[in-house]
Amino acid sequence: EHLRGKYLGLAHPVAIDYLRKLGVTTVELMPVQSFVSEQFLVEKGLSNYWGYNPLGWFAPDARYAVVDPVVEFKTMVRALHDAGLEVVLDVVFNHTAEAGQGDRSVLDKVVPGYYHRLNPKTGAVETSTCCQNVATEHALAQKMMVDSVVMWARDYKVDGFRFDLMGHASKAN
């Protein structure tokens, strides 16, 4: 019971056996990249458990781990693969959790106005459009997204990706 909702819970033989009995061949996980709850939820004593508010594109979220998210995520993928199941991740690259969090994002402190679309009046990360604040038209933002999926495929051995709203995220130059 202590493994329910955790990487190791999905890796448990009982869970895997259940999936195989259902005829499942591929498991698609909602976003597991490190994420945070939006401030308005926290103020209400709620939390975001969906994962669509990413903070770190290169790290599995610790909330789904018992102790070590990296080891446990890799263990889960290996167990699913050993059972003949593929693992697909839902990834979120069109926005980050930094929108509306202060005047600048961490990435925009490195290169101001490059990784995120900024509100021209406030200089803060743009939040007027639904989930479209990453400047996906910029080469280094694109490289970071590619580097992330390569890392998840190479280091964590995931089999594929579903890109959240990516067809709507880019602006043509």
87-146 pLDDT, tens digit per residue, is 999 998 887 776 555 555 677 677 777 888 777 787 777 665 566 778 888 898 899 999
pTM of the model: 0.85
Considering only residues 72 and 36, tell me which one the structure prediction assigns the higher pLDDT: 72
- Each residue's pLDDT tens digit, 65-85: 999 999 999 999 999 999 999
Asked whether residue 162 carries a pLDDT value surpassing 80, the answer given is yes
How confident is the model at residue 172, as a pLDDT? 42
- Contact criterion met (CB below 8 Å) for 59 and 34: yes
**Which residues contact residue 92 at a Cβ distance below 8 angstroms, ignoring those fewer than 6 apart?**
31, 33, 35, 51, 52, 53, 54, 131, 164
Average model confidence (pLDDT) for the chain? 85
For tokens 């989930």, what's the residue?
A: 131
d(CA 16, CA 82): 10
How confident is the model at residue 149, as a pLDDT? 96
Tokens representing 26?
């591929």
% the chain with pLDDT above 90: 52
**CB hemisphere CA count around 156 (13 angstroms):** 27
How confident is the model at residue 104, as a pLDDT? 53
Asked whether residue 170 carries a pLDDT value surpassing 50, the answer given is no
